[in-house]
Structure 1
Amino acid sequence: MSLLNHSPSRSRRAVRLTAGIGLLALVPFLISTANTAHAADPIGLGTAEDFSVLAGSGVTNTGVTTLASSVGSHETPTITTDTPFVFGPGATNHAGNAVTQTAKADLLTAYNEAAGAASTSAVPAELNRELPYLAGVYTATSEMQLTGSITLDGGGSNDSVFIFQAGSTLITSSNASVILTNGAQACNVYWQVGSSATFGTGTSFVGNVLAHTSITATTSATFEGRLLANFGAVTLDTNTIRDPGCETGPGGGTDTDATDGAAIDATDATDATDATDATDATDATDAGTDADSAGASAGSITGTTTEAGAQSADNQLGTQAQDSTDNGTDSAIGTDSTTTDLPNTGGAGLLPLLIGLLAAAGGIVLIVSAARTSRGV
């Protein structure tokens, strides 16, 4: 009789204990999922990856500027410099040739891909803050500004991807800096700029800058990445642009100092005048004039390169249109965002975290219940 009375009770205790332990075992996995559920995917740059600088309406340089990779411009192929560029091995001035035209088409695709990435966190215009940025997609509906320094934390992974979407301009103050740590790599950082980017004197910047219109790098600004402008001009002044080499395999640790970039041999310098003469293409007076184009609320743009070399940007994605001219001022064409800035988790990543906590609570309740039953409570 005793066995008949207590056997079901023991069976129930065993079931509760097993269920409780199982739920507790799920907690680490669910919390880990919360931290990685919204990791961004890398943006494919195609042949634009072979350029340090790409422009739509010409490149102008002052002083000794060092480029790890090539330079090119299309539709306006005018590239002027008062001092020959110092190119890295294999790099050259492609002006507006077929290589540049293919790269520009790939840039347009990459820009739209970056603009279309799903936002994981809305951020204010000023990016400077004490907390590091973890992998994810950060969106500002209008301009982005950087004063001081920010840190991008790879979370121990070389594959961590950071995408910053600026609805209109991106502007850094003098001596602003972006620091990589804990496995973060410059090759996996993307800045999608809805209009134009301006980098202050002495700025130390990392990542691939994909601008709708123009890019201006003021005196002594340095980059580990690329300056890629779709329709406007790129203006340089005694700058250094290093290739953002990518390491593969297990990540972790702190990245090397930003000065560790691709070695550049000064003997490889090529005078910009060795490229196609500017008078053979669009008149040099067209340099610095941004193509008439429209932006979109998400910053997306479309364009088709014709045989004659004309690239149309009239068929734009989105609802907010703007005409962009080379006066250095662009209207906001930002992406509306409904998410909240959650720097440590990334928005909807809270859901699996909450589930993990509930699972832990459920497991504890089941185990306590089993214990109480065993005591006859």
Structure 2
Amino acid sequence: MKKTSNTSIKNNMKKNLLNVLIAVMLFLIPNVNFGQVPTLGTTANFALFTKAGALTNGGTSNITGDIGSFDTSPVGFPGSGSVIGTIYAVADPALTQAAADVSTAYGSFGVGGVVLGTPFENQTISPGEYYTIGAAALNGNLTLDGGGDANAIFIIKVNGALSIGTISSNVILIGSASLCNVYWQVNGDFTLANSSVFRGTLVSNGAITLSGSSTIFGRALTTAGAINTSAITVTIPAGCGDVGTPVFTLGATSSRYQGAGTVTYTATADNTTGITYSLDATTAAFSGNSIVASTGEVTYAAGWSGTTTITASAAGTNGPTTATHTVTICPTTVPTISAGSATTFCTGGNVILSGNVGGTWSTGAVTPTITVTTAGDYFVTYTSSCGSLTSNHIVVTITPPPTASVITAGGAVAFCEGGDVILSGNVGGTWSTGAVTPTITVTTAGDYFVTNTNGCGSVISNHIVVTVNPLPT
């Protein structure tokens, strides 16, 4: 008997321990963020969107966010209410992308999670991924407790219709739970009763009915079914990974000289789903100018000068956001400088160069004209935000006066008849005899010298007097 009693005690202890472990696991499991956060794409900007069905309003509704239907244009909006956002007409290209994105969003919810009992009222749930076995209802309050974590994620998947069917039923967020991180997948119709408040992003696979005085802090999106509203308020969450303002790449050129060519201007933006680029109207209207909207590659026409503005538009949550980049295109034509007289002249002369309009002479002067007295290469540099250009060049040559030759005698300059003396030292001049050779042989008496001449004057060398003595008779 004692042995049996001990065995019973041991079994009870094992059961109690197992129960404690199960309780701990059940307490902890809901706090795990199991799920894949759905990818909303462009539908993040929509307060109301249906891929297949009408979108109608029957009362004074106030919407913050875009609205649209892929099938038909919205009816009754804004009416006596307001839409702070875009009301998309049918066939708008943005709706094609939204239709694809809402299907992607619905399909991006994960599988599994923790079973959530229904009806939902009077429950408080922790962050995590939940699902129901079938359709669900809320006839009271459902509280989502973030536990002090603003990044906590709630994913609730209803395998059937969801009816918030009693007046003043509410989804309540506490404990720092954020609208940005609450997602609902409803595999069927969704109904929100009068004066009820729903929080989170709803992605449904059926019709959506929003009754009078009801409020959604989030989004109501569906892949299949009409959306009917009556005197409601819908406000998409703010600050939930909102698209940032585009920033053009550091070093993007802000000036260039006129001329045909292509330049790519790229920008980046946080949380964007894509950036498109456009030109200002004046630039775009000039023949030959164009831009590739997807890349920011600008083609400039040869004749275009002035100011070009490139706009980058970043799509994304609560977007688009825009930024501009301005480029100055400077003319490549520069004034031509000219000389007022000959550019080759003698020492002491000068020439006036003119034609400078707003530039700087190579001498450093900024006057329209300069008077040049020294040899050199003269030009004007024009500097702008586009860089520097130079004018034509003028080369000035200074011719110095001639240099006198120094002549010498190769022997005695007094000799008897029949003798001679060689005189040398002519450098580019003319002997007094008329010879132009470097040396001459002198056999007759006389005064000998060399004359050096150029366009800037003449100089005479030293003189050598040759004496010829007659022979005795």
What is the TM-score with the length of structure 2 in the denominator? 0.43
The answer to whether 1:243 aligns with 2:236 is yes
Query: What number of residue pairs does the alignment pair up?
Result: 214
Distance 2:72 2:209 in 1: 17
**Judging changes above 3 Å, is the alpha-carbon distance between structure 1 residues 40 and 87 closer, same or farther for their aligned structure 2 residues?**
same
Question: Could you say which residue in structure 2 is the equivalent of 1:45?
Answer: 40
Question: Could you say which residue in structure 1 is the equivalent of 2:194?
Answer: 201
Higher CA-based Rg: 2
The answer to whether 1:67 aligns with 2:60 is no
The worse-fitting range, judged by mean Cα deviation, of 144-153 and 37-46 is 37-46
1:245: Cα distance to partner?
2.0
Question: Could you say which residue in structure 2 is the equivalent of 1:135?
Answer: 127
| Residue from 120, 138, 144 that aligns with 1:146 | 138
Question: Could you say which residue in structure 2 is the equivalent of 1:300?
Answer: none
Distance 2:191 2:33 in 1: 29
Question: Could you say which residue in structure 1 is the equivalent of 2:98?
Answer: 103
Distance 2:90 2:81 in 1: 13
| Percent of aligned positions that are identical | 25
The gaps in structure 2 that reach 5 residues or longer are 1-24, 242-473
Question: 1:120, 1:136 within 8 Å by CA — same for their partners in 2?
Answer: yes
Question: 1:45, 1:110 within 8 Å by CA — same for their partners in 2?
Answer: yes
1:141: Cα distance to partner?
1.7
Distance 1:148 1:35 in 2: 22
Question: Could you say which residue in structure 1 is the equivalent of 2:156?
Answer: 164
1:119: Cα distance to partner?
2.5
Distance 1:224 1:81 in 2: 21
1:185: Cα distance to partner?
1.0
Q: Secondary structure at the match of 2:121?
A: coil
1:91: Cα distance to partner?
3.1
Describe the superposition over 1:203-248 as per-residue Cα deviations: whole angstroms up to 9, x where unpaired: 1110111110210001111010011011110000000001212468
More strand per residue: 2
Q: Secondary structure at the match of 1:57?
A: coil
**Judging changes above 3 Å, is the alpha-carbon distance between structure 1 residues 36 and 124 closer, same or farther for their aligned structure 2 residues?**
closer
Question: 1:72, 1:96 within 8 Å by CA — same for their partners in 2?
Answer: no
1:43: Cα distance to partner?
1.6
Question: Could you say which residue in structure 2 is the equivalent of 1:80?
Answer: 75
1:32: Cα distance to partner?
11
1:160: Cα distance to partner?
1.1
**Judging changes above 3 Å, is the alpha-carbon distance between structure 1 residues 156 and 31 closer, same or farther for their aligned structure 2 residues?**
farther
Partner amino acid, structure 2, of 1:65 = S
The answer to whether 1:54 aligns with 2:49 is yes
The worse-fitting range, judged by mean Cα deviation, of 184-193 and 233-242 is 184-193
1:325-340 equivalent positions in 2, closer than 5 A:
none
**Judging changes above 3 Å, is the alpha-carbon distance between structure 1 residues 186 and 95 closer, same or farther for their aligned structure 2 residues?**
farther
1:11-30 equivalent positions in 2, closer than 5 A:
none
Distance 2:49 2:26 in 1: 42
1:129: Cα distance to partner?
2.6
**Judging changes above 3 Å, is the alpha-carbon distance between structure 1 residues 177 and 32 closer, same or farther for their aligned structure 2 residues?**
closer
CA RMSD of aligned residues (A): 2.3
Question: Could you say which residue in structure 1 is the equivalent of 2:388?
Answer: none
**Judging changes above 3 Å, is the alpha-carbon distance between structure 1 residues 32 and 165 closer, same or farther for their aligned structure 2 residues?**
closer
Question: 2:180, 2:240 within 8 Å by CA — same for their partners in 1?
Answer: no
1:238-317 equivalent positions in 2, closer than 5 A:
238-246=231-239
What is the TM-score with the length of structure 1 in the denominator? 0.53
Partner amino acid, structure 1, of 2:221 = L
Partner amino acid, structure 1, of 2:39 = G
**Judging changes above 3 Å, is the alpha-carbon distance between structure 1 residues 136 and 62 closer, same or farther for their aligned structure 2 residues?**
same
The gaps in structure 1 that reach 5 residues or longer are 1-29, 249-377
Question: 2:32, 2:127 within 8 Å by CA — same for their partners in 1?
Answer: no
1:166: Cα distance to partner?
0.9
Question: 2:30, 2:128 within 8 Å by CA — same for their partners in 1?
Answer: no
Describe the superposition over 1:302-349 as per-residue Cα deviations: whole angstroms up to 9, x where unpaired: xxxxxxxxxxxxxxxxxxxxxxxxxxxxxxxxxxxxxxxxxxxxxxxx
1:92: Cα distance to partner?
2.9
